Amino acid sequence: MTTAAAPSSAALALDAACDHLLALQEPAGWWKGELQTNVTMDAEDLLLREFLGVRRPRDTEEAARWIRSQQRDDGTWATFHGGPGDVSTTVEAYAALRLAGDPADAAHMRAAARFVLDAGGIEASRVFTRIWLALFGQWSWRDLPVLPPEMMFLPPWFPLNVYDWACWARQTIVPLTIVSAARPVRPLPFTLDELRTGRRVRRAPRGGWEAAFAALDRALHRYERRPVPGLRRAAVRRAAEWIVARQERDGSWGGIQPPWVYSLIALRLCGYGLDHPVMRKGLDGLERFIIRDEQGRRLEACQSPVWDTVLAINALRDAGLPPDHAALVKAAGWVLGEEIRGPGDWSVRRPGLRPGGWAFEFDNDVYPDVDDTAEAVLALRRVDHPDVRPAVERAVTWMAGMVSRDGGFAAFDADNTRTLCTRLPFCDFGAVIDPPSADVTAHTVEALVAEPPAPPARPDLVRRAVVWLLKAQEEDGSWFGRWGANHVYGTGAVVPALVAAGVRTDARCVRRAVAWLESHQNDDGGWGEDMRSYTDPSWIGRGASTPSQTAWALLALLAAGERSEAVERGVAWLVSHQRPDGTWDEPFFTGTGFPGDFSINYHLYRLVFPISALGRYVAAVGATAQPHETAVAEQAGHSEAGGTRTVAP
């Protein structure tokens, strides 16, 4: 059990962490940690290059080496560190290694095949995996759900139009309508018969909408046999134009992997040559997302420089860096240069709203998001930069206009809550709509409290958002975390927001949240929550302690005015687990892409959130050393020698 940490040891840990974070800043002013996901990114990258005919031996060898390095002793690949083997991920990794030349009778391949067969074979994999297999003749297009490109003609008010999908799903669905219509096959020099059970895939509808959409899919299959030629050509052309119009400056689509790879495939099927500027820019842009090291070559599913930079600014300000510190001013200048001033897909639901805000990535002008914008507003207002005010005012106006009808805030769209598309047979993986969430609403509340929206925004905007948060509190006192794992993240975001909005720290909602956090503190003093909590309630609030999740819990407790043993033990856990270089190890995934399906390890989370928590703790309790504190610091395993104070006293 971790003992309490002295304020002086916490201050020393804070100094070391700030030094490390400042050393990671890029010359242009931004920060970016690796965004680690799973090997499907690398497997699909090889399959994409094989389909397009651009796969190179060096890329293949390096990617295969990385994929092999991530296989576990039981032969499986998982979607997050320590998670269970995932059949779809294992099938895709296996196919990529076969493509790289690994023989089916190699020991590691036999182990993977045994797991796949025991899990139900290729037949049990998700639809996206079977689409990849169909591209290479390893699955029949007839046995996949149909996505007709004619859906491009549905108006935004009509059910199942493309704007009913969340932005990440929308960008993926549109190119897949072209792929689904073309049904291409690029044969491989091998088969994957060793992964088949021979059982027919039967997903019997349970009645209601599921049965209705199963019937619709059967009708669409009949239509696919003889589509209306002129209508089909016009639909494919409109889909292709939609895709091309949304390519970003760096060649990506939305700055994320799924629409990127499917858009390249779709445009190739439409006749775009590999030397076409759109295709060339798309393929060249992938290089920016590739990491090479001694383990091989891996592809980031996305990059998060804006998010990482605004979190770093807020962390360093929490740590006491003055608002005119050179690193913060440079970072603010870079963030201001990333402001999005033009319309995007969000304008479909909010056509009269003036643009303003930030996206997650280097290049994603079509999809700014409310969460990044809220954190950017909180960060920029804490830095002395001469150009902050106009950008913050534009951002606040845009955020206020993105409120959904129920008073909550979602990430990318307003009122993206129609659930019909979630019932389609196609949707067996990942979130496909973007309803308001507690964490995004909480961050927005904090930003709007700090910077109240000017008219014509409704004066009760914050009050309605707070009511939304109170209604969203779980029976156990926690909040669900949409974009981070999970109830620890949600609760860590909401409690500071409620207090900032004027909710008393002795209010019942805050006390229930505090009690939930204290009851879920690990014996070692930290907090953790396994990704399985999204699908298995027994994991809620349970998991190995991690730096980021411990920090989230501390941020909530400190905001609630707690100076309890739980806070002291949590701070001691951070102090005792800090590395000599000032950062922390965090192999566990604590970020969320799709709850229950796609998890993320943000490599900067392990640093920025502990800095914020330690900074707020030190500010709350002071950092004056007492005679006995050296012994406490030594017991926590933290050396007091060699520390450099880089923050303001």
Tens-digit pLDDT profile for residues 497-550: 999 999 999 999 999 999 999 999 999 999 999 999 999 999 999 999 999 999
Percent with pLDDT over 90 in the chain = 86
Confidence of residue 223 (pLDDT cuts 50, 70, 90): confident
The domain made up of 147-187+203-300 has a fold known as Glycosyltransferase (1.50.10)
Side chain identity at 143, as an amino acid letter?
D
State the Cα–Cα distance between residues 14 and 321, nearest whole angstrom: 11
Task: Output the CATH code of domain 38-144.
Answer: 1.50.10.20
In angstroms, the CA 352 to CA 36 distance is 37
Centroid of chain to Cα 617: 28
Closest alpha carbon to 87 in 429, 473, 537? 429
For the record, the structure tokens of 548 come out as: 């980021």
| Torsional sign, CA 570, 576, 581, 585 | negative
Q: What is the pLDDT of residue 425?
A: 75
For residue 226, the tally of other CB atoms under 10 A from its CB is 7
* Pairwise CA distance, residues 546 & 612, whole Å: 15
pLDDT confidence bin for 457, thresholds 50/70/90: low
Q: What does the pLDDT look like over 379-400, one tens digit per residue?
A: 999 999 999 999 999 999 999 9
Q: Which pLDDT band holds residue 627 (cuts at 50, 70, 90)? A: very low
Confidence grade of residue 637 (pLDDT, cut at 50, 70, 90): very low
Q: How far apart are alpha carbons 598 and 257 in whole angstroms? A: 13
Mean pLDDT of 489-496: 98
How far is it, in rounded angstroms, from Cα 11 to Cα 619?
A: 9
Written as six digits, the tokens of 310 are 């605004």
CATH dotted code for 7-35+303-422+432-635? 1.50.10.20
> Does the structure show a pLDDT above 90 at 638?
no
Per DSSP, which regions of 430-505 are E strands? none
pLDDT at 625: 35
User: How confident is the model at residue 639, as a pLDDT?
Assistant: 34
Phi, psi (degrees; rounded to nearest 5) at 426: -65, -30
Least Cα distance to 249 among 162, 340, 159 occurs for 340
Reported as a pLDDT band with limits 50, 70 and 90, residue 575 is: very high
pLDDT tens sequence across 552-568:
999 999 999 999 999 99
What are the CB-based long-range contacts (under 8 Å, 24+) for 125-131?
125/87, 125/88, 125/91, 126/88, 126/428, 126/429, 127/425, 127/426, 127/427, 127/428, 127/429, 128/88, 128/429, 129/88, 129/91, 129/92, 131/176, 131/179
- The pTM is what? 0.93
Question: How would you write 609-627 as a 3-class SS string?
Answer: HHHHHHHHHHHHHCCCCCC
Token output for 306: 């804006």
Three-class SS of residue 372? helix
7-35+303-422+432-635 and 147-187+203-300, same CATH topology: yes
Three-state DSSP class for residue 598: strand
Contact 469, 445 (CB under 8 A): yes
Question: Mean pLDDT, to the nearest integer, of 268-293?
Answer: 97
Q: How remote is the C-alpha of 220 from its chain's centroid?
A: 33
Active-site residue numbers?
371
Residue 5: pLDDT band by 50, 70, 90 thresholds? Answer: low
pLDDT in tens, 292-315: 999 999 999 999 999 999 999 999
Give the separation between CA 269 and CA 240, rounded to whole angstroms.
10
Residue 465: closest CA among 492, 487, 445: 445
What distance in Å separates the CA atoms of residue 302 and residue 132, rounded to the nearest whole number?
Answer: 20
CA dihedral 380, 381, 383, 386 (to 10 degrees): 90
Q: How far is it between the farthest Cα atoms of the chain?
A: 85
Mean of all residue pLDDT scores within the chain? 92
- Taking phi over 0 as left and psi of -120 to 50 as alpha, with beta for the rest, 356 belongs to left
Span of 228-242, 346-360, 421-435, 461-475 with lowest mean pLDDT: 421-435
Residue 611 has pLDDT above 60, yes or no: yes
pLDDT above 90 for 590: yes
The answer to whether 584 touches 574, Cβ cutoff 8 Å, is: yes
Lowest-pLDDT choice from 192-201, 332-341, 388-397? 192-201
Residue 333 has pLDDT above 90, yes or no: yes
How many residues does the structure list for the chain?
649
Domain ranges of the chain: 7-35+303-422+432-635, 38-144, 147-187+203-300
Gap between the Cα atoms of 23 and 11, Å rounded? 18
Taking alpha carbons only, the member of 539, 527, 531, 537 closest to residue 598 is 531
DSSP 163: G
Q: Give tens-digit pLDDT for 66-117.
A: 999 999 999 999 999 999 999 999 999 999 999 999 999 999 999 999 999 9
Q: How far apart are CA 584 and CA 13, in angstroms?
A: 11
* Residue for token pair 């798309």: 282
Task: Specify the DSSP class assigned to residue 494.
Answer: H
User: What does the alpha-carbon distance between residue 558 and residue 616 come to, in Å, rounded to a whole number?
Assistant: 7
Lowest mean pLDDT among 164-168, 375-379, 640-644: 640-644
Tell whether omega for the bond before 459 is within 30 degrees of 0, i.e. cis. Answer: no
Average pLDDT over residues 122-134: 96
Tell me whether residue 643 is exposed, middle or buried, using C-beta atoms within 10 angstroms of its C-beta: 0 to 12, 13 to 18, 19 or more.
Answer: middle
How far from chain centre, in Å, is Cα 421? 21
Backbone region of residue 121 per phi and psi (left: phi > 0; alpha: psi in -120 to 50; beta: other values): left
C-beta atoms surrounding 603 within 10 Å:
17
